[in-house]
Every structure is written in C-alpha cells, then in structure tokens.
Amino acid sequence: MMQISYELIFEEKDIFLQDSKGRRIETFQKSDFLTGGGWYNVTEPLVNRFSKRLVIKINAPIEVFLNFKAEINANVKGATANACARGAIANANAPGAIANANASDTIANANKAGAIANAAARDAIANANVPGARRMRIHGARQRMPMPDTR
C-alpha cells in the first residue's frame, strides 16, 4: 500500500497544500506564514496533520524557514530553504538557489551547478552534490565534496 505524502508549495501568488497525486487540498494566505521580517516561517502547528509526510517546495524567490523535521526545496534562483530543526533537510535545486542547515543534525544539499549549501551550526552538514555546486561551513559544521564521476 502506497503512503500518501503531501507538498506545501510556495509560489509567487499562492501557497497551497497538495497530495502526491497533485490534488489541491488546502490554500493558505501568505499572512499564515509571513513574518514581520519579510520571510516565511513553516511551523508544525500550521500543517500539523500533514507534517509527518510533508515536502516543502519554494517556487518563488523568497526565503522560507522550516522548524520541524521535513524536507524543504529551493527550486528557483533567489529561493532560500532553511532547515532549522534536527533531522530537517534543505535542498537547493536550481542555480542561484540556497540551502541552509541552521541547526545540529540538519543537512543542506546543493544539487545543481550554481546552487549553494551552507552549514551554519555545529554538527550540520553541507553537501555540494554536483560539480559547480558550492558549499560553506560555519561553526564547526561538516561539509562533503561532490562524489567523483564514475562513468
């Protein structure tokens, strides 16, 4: 039996939740997530019943902070994904996208050339997974180089 997962998608005009089959379940107001600092904050109470099987996608040039264990993806130039809770994973999936691992036991991945991964906490990991991706370590965090091409 396939387990249904959910995607919380941030776009230029909308924020919505959809299931793994692409069916829109709920639409949110930007004010549900927008902070006074101009960035977006996703907390578990906002998406409580979906949080255990949630992937967040940022499809607009905005900054989003994830404050529970899940995966967050920066999919366009100018998007920043922040993993701020133990076990969270941030991915930068486009040139000019940024993934930050901001807490212990978080991971930031740069998955495209021109993407950036930063580890900004002790025991956080920054990975540059492809040639041309960049990673940076701050405060004793670990970093990994891209795997060699084995073809």
Q: What is the pLDDT along the chain (151 residues), one digit of tens a residue?
A: 345 589 999 999 999 999 989 999 999 999 999 988 889 999 888 887 777 789 999 999 999 999 999 999 999 999 999 999 999 999 999 999 999 999 999 999 999 999 999 999 988 999 999 999 999 877 555 554 443 333 3
**Helical (H) or strand (E) element with 125:** strand 125-128
Question: Rounded to whole angstroms, how far apart are CA atoms 21 and 132?
Answer: 33
Q: Give the C-alpha separation, 37 to 120, whole Å.
A: 20
DSSP 49: G
Number of neighbours of residue 3 by Cβ within 10 angstroms: 7
pLDDT of residue 37: 82
Phi/psi of residue 40, nearest 5 degrees = -105, 145
pLDDT at residue number 63:
96
Note the pLDDT of residue 142: 53
